[in-house]
Amino acid sequence: MTAQTPDDLVDSWLTVPDVAEELGVDAGKVRRLLKERRLAGVRRGEPPVLSVPAAFLVPADARNPATVPDGYGEQEAAGTSAVLASLQGTLSVLGDVGMSDAEAIAWLFTPDETLPGRPVDALRAGHKTEVRRRAQALL
């Protein structure tokens, strides 16, 4: 595991109210997405505020370079952004490996020379299989 923290690796963060505004939903829905691990966030700053990497959201018209699972994202359509659909499965694999949200965020934002680039950028480009294969190799 890398010694770098999510704060060292992530350029741009959004608070729960910011995410809610981007998605066009209320903050309670964002908290449910976090609890269901469709999104990942960490508490950061003083006082600690729950924050989500901005890269986990994509423009609503480019919701996902692949396909959107049935029933996913219907409520997010009202906002200007949507959750990257391939994120949930990837977070699930990272959870199976035993990573916390902070560790998963650090892993997703740490450059990987075999991709090349960061796993989060590969997900945004539609390469979820490659990213998940690398995550499963951590088992």
3-state secondary structure 123-139: HHCCCHHHHHHHHHCCC
Helix (H, G, I), strand (E, B) or coil at 48: coil
Q: Residues 1-14, buried b or exposed e (16+ Cβ, 10 A)?
A: eeeeebeebbeebb
Going residue by residue through the chain, which has 139 residues, state the pLDDT in tens, using 9 for 90 and above.
Answer: 446 889 999 999 999 999 999 999 999 999 999 999 999 999 999 999 999 999 999 998 765 544 444 444 444 346 899 999 999 999 999 999 999 999 999 999 999 998 989 999 999 999 999 999 999 998 8
**Can you tell me the distance from the alpha carbon of 102 to that of 43, in angstroms, rounded to the nearest whole number?**
9
What is this structure's pTM? 0.85
